[in-house]
Amino acid sequence: MRVSVVIPTLNAGSLLPLLFDRLRSQKPATPDEIIVVDSGSSDESRALATNAGARLVEWTEPFNHGLARDAAISAATGDIVLLTVQDALPAADDWLARISAHFLDDSVAGVSTRQIPPPGGPLELQVKAAAEAQAGSAPVRIRLADHPEYRHYTPAQKMALYRFDNVCSAVRRSVWEQIPFGACRYAEDLLWARTVLEAGHTLVYDPSAPVVHAHRRSFIYEFRRALLDAWMLDELFGFRYRLGDKLDRVKALARPEPEVPKPAMAARCAAARTYAAHGLARFCYNTYRLTLKPLGLGRALLVRLTRGI
Protein backbone atom coordinates (compact mmCIF):
# COMPACT_ATOMS: atom_id res chain seq x y z
CA MET A 1 0.00 0.00 0.00
CA ARG A 2 1.19 3.46 -0.86
CA VAL A 3 1.37 5.80 2.17
CA SER A 4 1.10 9.60 2.10
CA VAL A 5 1.71 11.86 5.10
CA VAL A 6 -0.23 15.14 5.40
CA ILE A 7 0.97 18.00 7.63
CA PRO A 8 -1.00 21.25 8.09
CA THR A 9 1.41 24.14 8.75
CA LEU A 10 1.39 27.75 9.83
CA ASN A 11 4.76 29.32 10.64
CA ALA A 12 6.22 25.95 11.59
CA GLY A 13 9.76 27.25 11.11
CA SER A 14 12.48 25.12 12.66
CA LEU A 15 10.00 22.39 13.64
CA LEU A 16 9.71 21.03 10.11
CA PRO A 17 13.26 19.74 9.48
CA LEU A 18 13.16 17.59 12.62
CA LEU A 19 9.74 16.21 11.67
CA PHE A 20 10.93 15.40 8.14
CA ASP A 21 14.00 13.68 9.61
CA ARG A 22 11.81 11.54 11.86
CA LEU A 23 9.53 10.61 8.97
CA ARG A 24 12.43 9.64 6.76
CA SER A 25 14.04 7.54 9.46
CA GLN A 26 11.05 5.20 9.64
CA LYS A 27 11.74 1.49 9.18
CA PRO A 28 11.39 -0.75 7.26
CA ALA A 29 9.97 1.85 4.84
CA THR A 30 9.55 5.61 4.75
CA PRO A 31 6.42 7.45 3.52
CA ASP A 32 5.92 7.43 -0.24
CA GLU A 33 5.19 11.16 -0.15
CA ILE A 34 4.84 14.06 2.28
CA ILE A 35 2.27 16.77 1.63
CA VAL A 36 2.29 20.08 3.48
CA VAL A 37 -0.91 22.14 3.46
CA ASP A 38 0.16 25.66 4.42
CA SER A 39 -2.25 28.33 5.66
CA GLY A 40 -0.26 31.41 4.68
CA SER A 41 2.95 31.12 6.67
CA SER A 42 5.02 34.29 6.84
CA ASP A 43 8.23 32.46 7.79
CA GLU A 44 10.34 29.95 5.89
CA SER A 45 7.92 27.03 6.31
CA ARG A 46 6.96 26.72 2.66
CA ALA A 47 10.57 26.89 1.47
CA LEU A 48 11.64 24.33 4.05
CA ALA A 49 8.88 22.00 2.91
CA THR A 50 9.66 22.21 -0.80
CA ASN A 51 13.42 22.05 -0.25
CA ALA A 52 12.88 18.84 1.72
CA GLY A 53 10.95 17.33 -1.17
CA ALA A 54 7.46 17.70 0.25
CA ARG A 55 4.56 18.62 -2.00
CA LEU A 56 3.02 21.97 -1.08
CA VAL A 57 -0.70 22.72 -1.04
CA GLU A 58 -1.51 26.39 -0.51
CA TRP A 59 -4.61 26.97 1.64
CA THR A 60 -5.77 30.54 1.03
CA GLU A 61 -9.26 30.39 2.57
CA PRO A 62 -9.93 31.08 6.26
CA PHE A 63 -8.55 28.08 8.11
CA ASN A 64 -10.98 25.22 8.60
CA HIS A 65 -9.76 21.99 10.17
CA GLY A 66 -11.88 19.76 7.99
CA LEU A 67 -11.60 21.51 4.63
CA ALA A 68 -7.84 22.14 4.83
CA ARG A 69 -7.19 18.47 5.52
CA ASP A 70 -9.58 17.44 2.75
CA ALA A 71 -7.65 19.62 0.30
CA ALA A 72 -4.38 17.93 1.22
CA ILE A 73 -5.84 14.43 1.12
CA SER A 74 -7.33 15.11 -2.32
CA ALA A 75 -3.81 15.95 -3.53
CA ALA A 76 -2.35 12.78 -2.02
CA THR A 77 -1.75 9.64 -4.05
CA GLY A 78 -1.53 7.16 -1.19
CA ASP A 79 -3.96 4.34 -0.44
CA ILE A 80 -3.37 5.29 3.20
CA VAL A 81 -3.12 8.93 4.26
CA LEU A 82 -1.48 9.58 7.60
CA LEU A 83 -2.41 12.90 9.23
CA THR A 84 -0.24 14.64 11.78
CA VAL A 85 0.69 18.20 12.82
CA GLN A 86 3.81 20.30 12.53
CA ASP A 87 4.93 19.89 16.14
CA ALA A 88 4.18 16.19 16.70
CA LEU A 89 7.13 13.82 16.35
CA PRO A 90 7.01 10.02 15.94
CA ALA A 91 8.27 8.50 19.17
CA ALA A 92 9.93 5.53 17.44
CA ASP A 93 11.19 4.47 14.03
CA ASP A 94 8.50 1.78 13.66
CA TRP A 95 5.67 4.30 14.12
CA LEU A 96 4.65 4.33 10.46
CA ALA A 97 4.85 0.55 10.14
CA ARG A 98 2.71 -0.07 13.22
CA ILE A 99 -0.04 2.28 12.04
CA SER A 100 0.01 1.12 8.41
CA ALA A 101 -0.16 -2.57 9.34
CA HIS A 102 -3.73 -2.22 10.59
CA PHE A 103 -4.93 -1.40 7.08
CA LEU A 104 -4.11 -4.93 5.93
CA ASP A 105 -7.57 -5.61 7.37
CA ASP A 106 -9.94 -4.30 4.69
CA SER A 107 -12.60 -3.42 7.28
CA VAL A 108 -10.36 -0.81 8.95
CA ALA A 109 -11.17 2.73 7.83
CA GLY A 110 -8.95 4.66 10.22
CA VAL A 111 -6.29 4.37 12.91
CA SER A 112 -5.31 6.81 15.62
CA THR A 113 -2.85 6.78 18.46
CA ARG A 114 -1.94 8.70 21.59
CA GLN A 115 0.22 11.68 22.46
CA ILE A 116 2.99 11.69 25.02
CA PRO A 117 4.90 14.72 26.35
CA PRO A 118 8.66 15.03 25.97
CA PRO A 119 10.86 14.53 29.05
CA GLY A 120 10.33 17.54 31.25
CA GLY A 121 7.12 18.45 29.40
CA PRO A 122 4.04 19.96 31.08
CA LEU A 123 3.20 18.07 34.25
CA GLU A 124 -0.52 17.81 33.48
CA LEU A 125 0.34 16.00 30.25
CA GLN A 126 2.71 13.68 32.09
CA VAL A 127 -0.12 12.83 34.51
CA LYS A 128 -2.47 12.18 31.59
CA ALA A 129 0.08 10.02 29.78
CA ALA A 130 0.71 7.98 32.93
CA ALA A 131 -3.02 7.35 33.31
CA GLU A 132 -3.28 6.24 29.68
CA ALA A 133 -0.24 3.98 30.01
CA GLN A 134 -1.98 2.07 32.81
CA ALA A 135 -4.61 0.98 30.28
CA GLY A 136 -1.91 -0.91 28.35
CA SER A 137 -0.53 -0.67 24.84
CA ALA A 138 -2.61 -3.28 23.02
CA PRO A 139 -4.53 -1.98 19.98
CA VAL A 140 -8.27 -1.58 20.43
CA ARG A 141 -10.67 -2.32 17.57
CA ILE A 142 -13.84 -0.26 17.59
CA ARG A 143 -16.91 -1.27 15.57
CA LEU A 144 -20.57 -0.75 16.34
CA ALA A 145 -21.35 -4.41 15.66
CA ASP A 146 -19.75 -5.01 19.08
CA HIS A 147 -22.10 -2.47 20.68
CA PRO A 148 -25.67 -3.60 19.95
CA GLU A 149 -27.05 -1.09 22.50
CA TYR A 150 -25.22 1.83 20.86
CA ARG A 151 -28.41 3.76 20.09
CA HIS A 152 -29.21 3.79 23.79
CA TYR A 153 -25.74 4.84 24.93
CA THR A 154 -25.27 8.10 26.76
CA PRO A 155 -23.28 10.85 25.01
CA ALA A 156 -20.32 10.00 27.25
CA GLN A 157 -20.47 6.32 26.27
CA LYS A 158 -20.66 7.22 22.58
CA MET A 159 -17.78 9.68 22.86
CA ALA A 160 -15.62 6.90 24.29
CA LEU A 161 -16.02 5.10 20.96
CA TYR A 162 -15.12 8.10 18.82
CA ARG A 163 -11.48 7.79 19.84
CA PHE A 164 -9.86 9.50 16.87
CA ASP A 165 -7.42 12.39 16.95
CA ASN A 166 -5.93 14.11 13.92
CA VAL A 167 -2.80 15.07 15.84
CA CYS A 168 -1.86 11.57 14.69
CA SER A 169 -4.29 9.51 12.66
CA ALA A 170 -4.48 7.62 9.38
CA VAL A 171 -7.39 7.16 7.00
CA ARG A 172 -8.06 4.75 4.17
CA ARG A 173 -8.37 6.97 1.13
CA SER A 174 -11.19 4.95 -0.45
CA VAL A 175 -13.30 5.49 2.69
CA TRP A 176 -12.39 9.18 2.85
CA GLU A 177 -13.58 9.57 -0.75
CA GLN A 178 -17.03 8.51 0.45
CA ILE A 179 -16.81 10.27 3.83
CA PRO A 180 -14.56 13.37 3.72
CA PHE A 181 -14.05 15.50 6.81
CA GLY A 182 -16.06 18.36 5.33
CA ALA A 183 -16.41 21.91 6.64
CA CYS A 184 -15.78 21.76 10.35
CA ARG A 185 -14.31 24.39 12.64
CA TYR A 186 -13.52 21.98 15.47
CA ALA A 187 -13.68 18.23 16.28
CA GLU A 188 -13.58 17.21 12.62
CA ASP A 189 -11.82 14.01 13.68
CA LEU A 190 -14.54 13.00 16.17
CA LEU A 191 -17.31 13.77 13.69
CA TRP A 192 -15.55 11.67 11.04
CA ALA A 193 -15.15 8.81 13.49
CA ARG A 194 -18.86 8.85 14.34
CA THR A 195 -19.90 8.89 10.68
CA VAL A 196 -17.47 6.12 9.73
CA LEU A 197 -18.53 3.87 12.60
CA GLU A 198 -22.21 4.40 11.88
CA ALA A 199 -21.51 3.50 8.24
CA GLY A 200 -20.30 0.08 9.43
CA HIS A 201 -16.53 0.55 9.26
CA THR A 202 -13.94 -0.31 11.90
CA LEU A 203 -11.56 2.08 13.66
CA VAL A 204 -8.42 1.12 15.56
CA TYR A 205 -6.82 2.92 18.48
CA ASP A 206 -3.18 1.84 18.79
CA PRO A 207 -1.40 3.38 21.81
CA SER A 208 1.82 1.52 20.96
CA ALA A 209 2.68 4.04 18.20
CA PRO A 210 2.58 7.41 19.99
CA VAL A 211 3.74 10.83 18.91
CA VAL A 212 5.61 13.28 21.14
CA HIS A 213 3.47 16.40 21.32
CA ALA A 214 3.04 19.02 24.02
CA HIS A 215 2.28 22.70 24.51
CA ARG A 216 2.71 25.12 27.37
CA ARG A 217 0.03 27.74 26.79
CA SER A 218 -1.12 30.78 28.71
CA PHE A 219 -4.07 30.72 31.10
CA ILE A 220 -6.14 32.79 28.65
CA TYR A 221 -5.44 30.47 25.72
CA GLU A 222 -6.23 27.36 27.77
CA PHE A 223 -9.47 29.01 28.93
CA ARG A 224 -10.51 29.92 25.39
CA ARG A 225 -9.67 26.48 24.00
CA ALA A 226 -11.48 24.69 26.82
CA LEU A 227 -14.48 26.96 26.28
CA LEU A 228 -14.57 26.02 22.59
CA ASP A 229 -14.14 22.37 23.51
CA ALA A 230 -17.06 22.39 25.97
CA TRP A 231 -19.28 24.29 23.54
CA MET A 232 -18.58 22.17 20.47
CA LEU A 233 -18.76 18.79 22.21
CA ASP A 234 -22.14 19.76 23.67
CA GLU A 235 -23.45 21.16 20.40
CA LEU A 236 -22.17 18.36 18.16
CA PHE A 237 -22.49 15.32 20.43
CA GLY A 238 -24.60 16.34 23.42
CA PHE A 239 -21.58 15.61 25.63
CA ARG A 240 -21.11 17.61 28.82
CA TYR A 241 -18.18 17.47 31.19
CA ARG A 242 -18.80 16.51 34.77
CA LEU A 243 -17.53 18.68 37.60
CA GLY A 244 -15.04 16.10 38.89
CA ASP A 245 -13.70 14.86 35.55
CA LYS A 246 -10.11 15.86 36.35
CA LEU A 247 -10.26 15.61 40.13
CA ASP A 248 -8.05 12.50 40.16
CA ARG A 249 -5.39 14.32 38.15
CA VAL A 250 -5.52 17.34 40.44
CA LYS A 251 -5.01 15.02 43.42
CA ALA A 252 -2.03 13.45 41.66
CA LEU A 253 -0.30 16.83 41.66
CA ALA A 254 -0.42 17.03 45.44
CA ARG A 255 0.06 13.35 46.24
CA PRO A 256 1.94 11.50 43.50
CA GLU A 257 2.45 7.75 43.67
CA PRO A 258 5.16 6.75 46.18
CA GLU A 259 7.51 5.49 43.47
CA VAL A 260 7.18 8.73 41.46
CA PRO A 261 9.45 11.64 42.47
CA LYS A 262 7.41 14.54 43.76
CA PRO A 263 7.17 17.19 41.00
CA ALA A 264 8.76 20.58 41.51
CA MET A 265 6.46 23.27 42.89
CA ALA A 266 6.73 25.36 39.70
CA ALA A 267 5.57 22.43 37.59
CA ARG A 268 2.69 21.70 39.94
CA CYS A 269 1.60 25.34 39.91
CA ALA A 270 1.69 25.46 36.12
CA ALA A 271 -0.43 22.30 35.90
CA ALA A 272 -2.88 23.62 38.49
CA ARG A 273 -3.19 26.82 36.45
CA THR A 274 -4.12 24.79 33.36
CA TYR A 275 -6.70 22.77 35.28
CA ALA A 276 -8.12 26.00 36.71
CA ALA A 277 -8.47 27.45 33.19
CA HIS A 278 -10.34 24.33 32.06
CA GLY A 279 -12.58 24.35 35.12
CA LEU A 280 -13.43 28.01 34.72
CA ALA A 281 -14.20 27.52 31.03
CA ARG A 282 -16.58 24.67 31.76
CA PHE A 283 -18.28 26.65 34.51
CA CYS A 284 -18.74 29.62 32.16
CA TYR A 285 -20.09 27.41 29.38
CA ASN A 286 -22.58 25.70 31.70
CA THR A 287 -23.69 29.09 32.98
CA TYR A 288 -24.31 30.18 29.38
CA ARG A 289 -26.12 26.93 28.58
CA LEU A 290 -28.46 27.22 31.54
CA THR A 291 -29.15 30.96 31.48
CA LEU A 292 -28.38 32.77 28.22
CA LYS A 293 -28.82 30.01 25.63
CA PRO A 294 -32.53 29.39 26.35
CA LEU A 295 -33.09 33.14 25.74
CA GLY A 296 -31.20 33.08 22.46
CA LEU A 297 -28.41 35.22 23.93
CA GLY A 298 -24.66 34.89 24.31
CA ARG A 299 -23.71 32.94 21.19
CA ALA A 300 -21.99 35.93 19.59
CA LEU A 301 -19.84 36.28 22.72
CA LEU A 302 -18.85 32.61 22.52
CA VAL A 303 -17.84 33.06 18.91
CA ARG A 304 -15.75 36.11 19.77
CA LEU A 305 -14.02 34.47 22.74
CA THR A 306 -13.08 31.36 20.76
CA ARG A 307 -12.15 32.96 17.43
CA GLY A 308 -8.79 31.80 16.12
CA ILE A 309 -8.57 28.68 18.31
Instruction: Report the DSSP beta bridge partners of residue 169.
Output: 83, 112
Rg of the chain in Å (alpha carbons): 20
> Which own/partner contact pairs does 101-108 have at CB distance under 8 Å and 24+ positions apart?
102/139, 102/204, 102/206, 103/1, 103/79, 103/170, 103/172, 105/202, 107/143, 107/201, 107/202, 108/172, 108/201, 108/202, 108/203, 108/204
Question: Average pLDDT, stretch 180-184?
Answer: 95
Question: Average pLDDT, stretch 212-238?
Answer: 96
Question: Average pLDDT, stretch 69-82?
Answer: 97
Give the model's pLDDT for residue 130: 84
Is pLDDT at 13 greater than 90 in this prediction? no
Is pLDDT at 249 greater than 70 in this prediction? no
pTM of the predicted protein model: 0.93
Q: How many Å apart are CA 137 and CA 132, to the nearest integer?
A: 9
Give the model's pLDDT for residue 301: 95
- Mean pLDDT, the chain, whole residue set: 92
- Least confidently predicted of 36-45, 147-156, 238-247, 256-265: 256-265
Sign for the pseudo-dihedral over CA of 16, 19, 25, 29: negative
Share of the chain above pLDDT 70, in %: 94
Taking each helix axis from N to C end, the angle separating 299-306 and 219-237, rounded to the nearest 10 degrees, works out to: 130
How is residue 105 annotated by DSSP?
A: S
Taking each helix axis from N to C end, the angle separating 265-287 and 123-133, rounded to the nearest 10 degrees, works out to: 80
Confidence band for 261, pLDDT divided at 50, 70 and 90: low
Write out pLDDT tens, residues 138-154. Answer: 999 999 999 999 999 99
